[in-house]
Amino acid sequence: MEILEVTPEIFDITFPNPNHIFNSGAFSKLNEPRFEKVYYLIFKDSKTRLGIILGLRDQLLLSPFSATFGGFEFASEDVKLYQIDAAFETLFNWASAKKYSGIKIIPPPFFYKEDFLAKVTNCMYRAGFETKNMELNYHFQTANLTATYEQDIWYNARKNLKKANSFGLTFEKLDISNGKIAYDVIAQNRAERGFPLRLTWEQLMNTNSVIPMDFFLAKNATESIGAAIVYHIAPSIVRVIYWGDLPKFSEYKTMNFLSYQLFKHYKEQGIKILDIGHSTVDSVPNHGLCEFKESIGCSISLLYEFYKKLD
């Protein structure tokens, strides 16, 4: 197995339909200035087999280096276990020759490509990777939004959704020119909770050049009281990047209303899964967030952080 260092453009030509948008060369190129170097690597024997994008910081190779998850891409779904094993061996030799200290990889949750990710996880375990963190990631399958949805969710979620609907709230999808209205609602939510947004509006719009995104508002009779920003991240999968409500309108149970309307909207659009994101940090749960996402019918998967120290 040989390893090739290529440009982000060549990487995207080689892997035109990545498992998720964070593994695209175009997305990674946006964030290159934040790192010492970014490598776009292709693994070949008789054919191209795999690829990975790695950012370098403090002698450590990171995938992802600018997103929630990254990991390997395949050129063909029938990639064999021994080919993945060979790619790891080649990667270790290449990184060791450059005197790098280690490799950290966070693959996506298994629902992004279950069979392939199971094989990669097995290969990483046998290659000596350690599990450093195990985050709880929540997602909603739109097939579960049926006529019995309200009966199937937790009692408190059912009660809160009923209360939200009693206020006559409205749900609105914004076009990009009005998207900052949604951003400002979420920014206010985060400021009041003491968690400022990582992305400025300008950075978000820069990301929009390579990731399609949607903006939504929940409104009462006079003003916007909740919002969501959603990335189209993979075929039939969207990811909620930001959402939130204004605390002074807590009686409206806005998040129960907003989440239900998002599920309904994307089911109508043919989306199969809404990735709601993880509710743990360094494996430690935010109990309130975990319980809210479970209460509205989300399923749970694991987001592993793997680390390999290099000799």
Q: Where are the domains of the chain?
A: 2-128, 138-303
Question: Over pLDDT 90: what percentage of the chain?
Answer: 97
* Superfamily name and number for 138-303: Gcn5-related N-acetyltransferase (GNAT) (3.40.630.30)
**Predicted confidence band of residue 196 (pLDDT cuts 50, 70, 90):** confident
What is the arithmetic mean of pLDDT over 190-213?
93
17-44 pLDDT, tens digit per residue, is 999 999 999 999 999 998 999 999 999 9
* Superfamily name and number for 2-128: Gcn5-related N-acetyltransferase (GNAT) (3.40.630.30)
Is 265's pLDDT higher than 90?
yes
- Cα of 226 vs its chain's centroid, Å: 21
What is the arithmetic mean of pLDDT over 47-63?
97
151-172 pLDDT, tens digit per residue, is 999 999 999 999 999 999 999 9
Is 311's pLDDT higher than 90?
no
291-309 pLDDT, tens digit per residue, is 999 999 999 999 999 999 9
**Predicted confidence band of residue 149 (pLDDT cuts 50, 70, 90):** very high
What is the arithmetic mean of pLDDT over 102-114?
97
pLDDT at 34: 87
246-255 pLDDT, tens digit per residue, is 999 999 999 9
**Predicted confidence band of residue 195 (pLDDT cuts 50, 70, 90):** confident
pLDDT at 104: 98
Among 210, 186, 211, which Cα is nearest to 197's? 186
114-131 pLDDT, tens digit per residue, is 999 999 999 999 999 999
Mean pLDDT, the chain, whole residue set: 97
- Considering the entire predicted model, what is its pTM? 0.95
Same fold across 2-128 and 138-303: yes
